[in-house]
Amino acid sequence: MPRRKTTNTTGIPRLADIPYHDAWVSYVCVNCKEPNLVRIGQILLDPRSAYTTQKWQCLHCGFMHSKESDLPFTNWPEGSTLSESIVTQRFWNALFVASTEQPQSYWKQCNVCGRVLPFHAFSKHSSWGPLQRQMECRGCKGAINAILNPERTDQQLFESSIRRRLGDLLLQGEDETISFDELFKRFNSRCFKTKQKLDINDRNSWAVDHILPSKYLYPLKVSNAALLSRRANENKRDRWPNEFYTNSELVELAKLTGADLHLLSSKRPVINTSIDVDACVTRVLAVHEQSNLWKRVSELKKMLISYGLINKLSQENKQLLGYEKESK
């Protein structure tokens, strides 16, 4: 059946002919053991009578699930698997009850991804359909929300700040000293983003932007420093330059600082693999501070794995961080 598509403001299409209010029943075939789904519609079954009204035929092997069928279990006692036996009747009754017992027993179809999924894969939507669930599954809902509300969660911000802090620790000793006088001269005493005039003596009103963020392992250098107002810098945080500056700003920034325009304008963050990763790691491990060493090590491991930098480590640091054990 061809599916027409409707699009909403998110650009994620909904499938047009999905009966998203309908309830489905799920069961596993007693004969071939394959999972099956039966579309029930918008009136839920009465679990006490489903056993007398329902006949579900397996889509895979054709076996009929009904109180009139014998059970296919050949290793059960003689006679117990015949449909007229009380054993078999109890079995059928329980099978139908289990699939229809309560709204949570049912399944429904997501009108975004088209999958038929269990009740709990959908969030609540009061007075909507017999199951009172939303028309898209939680996976699709998450994707839609991410587009509607792209702000990062507190957890993501928290993780990002850990990364930045770790990046700063890794880069200690790699940073150049920046002359504020020269920075102000280079940027004509103005915030590079807002163009507002800044006072070098009012230290709280301006900040040095780490153009290529320390989170991606770029040390602070003259070519990696921009002058921003405090507020503009708070907006920039550890974002990749292409996510914060416009194209013409990037061109101007490259001219002013001598930074690599190709790198600045990259659409995705590029990890700086040219630093001495091993020396940086040794430094981080040697830092004397109150904060939890275990936490620092586990974050460091995650970061180095996701940046693909493990093979830049010395044997000793690999062992210290526990990579050696895992690779064997």
Q: Is 112 in the site for Zn ion (CB under 5 A)?
A: yes
For Zn ion, the closer CB: 24 or 245? 24
Instruction: Count interface residues toward Zn ion (CB under 5 A).
Output: 12
Q: 259 φ, ψ to 5°?
A: -70, 165
Determine the length of the chain. Answer: 328
Q: Does 280 bind Zn ion (CB under 5 A)?
A: no
* Least Å from the CB of residue 20 to Zn ion: 10
Instruction: Locate 267 and state its tokens.
Output: 């659409």
Strand 5-7, strand 13-15: pairing: antiparallel
286-316 b/e (C-beta count within 10 Å ≥ 16 → b): eeeeeeeeeebeebbeebbeebebbebbeee
Q: Does 211 bind Zn ion (CB under 5 A)?
A: no
Residues 323 and 328: their CA atoms lie apart, in Å, by 9
The region of 13-21, 91-99, 105-113, 236-244 touching Zn ion under the rule CB under 5 A is 105-113
Spatial separation of the C-alpha atoms in residues 224 and 210, rounded to whole Å: 6
Dihedral pair phi/psi, residue 177, rounded to 5°:
-80, 130
Q: Which stretch binds Zn ion (CB under 5 A): 108-116, 147-155, 248-256, 315-323?
A: 108-116
63 binds Zn ion (CB under 5 A): yes
Quick check: helix, strand or coil at residue 276? coil
- Residue 140 interacting with Zn ion (CB under 5 A): yes
Q: Taking CB under 5 A as the rule, which mask of x and - marks residues 72-91 in contact with Zn ion?
A: --------------------
Report strand pairing: 122-124 vs 133-137: antiparallel
Residue from 15, 37, 44, 61 touching Zn ion (CB under 5 A): that is 61
Q: Which stretch binds Zn ion (CB under 5 A): 129-137, 182-190, 243-251, 291-299?
A: 129-137
Can you give the binding site for Zn ion, defined by CB under 5 A?
29, 31-32, 58, 60-61, 63, 110, 112-113, 137, 140
